[in-house]
Amino acid sequence: MAENCYETPARAADNPDVERVALIRKAFRLEWFTVAWMTVEAIVAITSGIAAHSIILTAFGIDSLIELASAGVLIWRLSVELKHGRAFSEAAEHTASRIAGGLLFALATYVVVAAGWGLWYREGAAFSWPGLIVTALAIPIMYLLAKRKLAVAAELGSRALRADAIEAVTCGWLSFVVVLGLLVQLAIGAWWIDSVASLAILWFLIKEGREAWAVEECCD
C-alpha cells in the first residue's frame, strides 16, 4: 500500500496526457482572466470614448470586445480538447480567425472614417481620466498576460493560444499609443489630437487583422 501511494504521483508526472491536462487548465485560468479584464477594459473605454467623443478610446474599447470574443472561442476550443482529446476539427478555429480578421478590418475602416470626419469638421474630443487610467493599466497587464500565454502555448504546441497571445502583445502596444495620445491631448489640448492619434493605431489593427487571415490561409 505504501509503495502505491508513492508510485501514483510519479506515474502521473510521467504521463504526457496528465501533463497536457495541467497545461490546458493553466491556459483556462489565463483565458478567464483575459475575459474578466477585457470586460472591464471594454466597458470603461467605450463608455469613456462615447462620453468624450473620443475616436481612439472608442476604437480601443471595440478592439477589447474583439479580444474578448477571441478568448471565448479559445475557451471553447480548450473545453473540446478536454472532453474529446486533441483530434477534433479545425474548421471552427478557421472560421473564428476569419471573423476576427474581418472585425478588425471593419474597425480600421471605422477609425479612418471617424478620424476623417473629425478632421474635416474640426471636431475634437474631451479628455478622459477613466480612459487614461484603464489604458495605462492595460500596458503592464497585457505584457504579463502575453508572456505567460506564449510560454504555455509553446508547451502545448498550440497555434490558437499563440495567436491569442500575439493579440495581447498588440493590445499592449495599442494601449501605449492610446496613452501617449491622451497625454498629448492633456498637455496641448488641440482639437485634432484625438483624430490624428486614432490614425496611429491603424497599423496595429491592420497587422492583427492580416495575421488572423494568414492563420486561415496557411492551414487550408
Give the per-residue SS3 of 110-152: HHHHHHHHHHHCCCCCCCCHHHHHHHHHHHHHHHHHHHHHHHH
pLDDT at 48: 94
Domains and CATH numbers, the chain: 2-219 (1.20.1510)
Residue 23 has pLDDT above 70, yes or no: yes
Which of 61, 76, 95, 39 lies closest to 171 in space, CA to CA? 61
Mean pLDDT within 187-210: 82
pLDDT beyond 90 at 76: no
Which is more confident, 103 or 59? 59
Q: How far apart are CA 208 and CA 31, in angstroms?
A: 19
pLDDT band at 209; cut points 50, 70, 90: confident
Q: Kindly indicate the confidence band of residue 43, based on its pLDDT and cuts at 50, 70 and 90.
A: very high
The DSSP letter of residue 86 is S
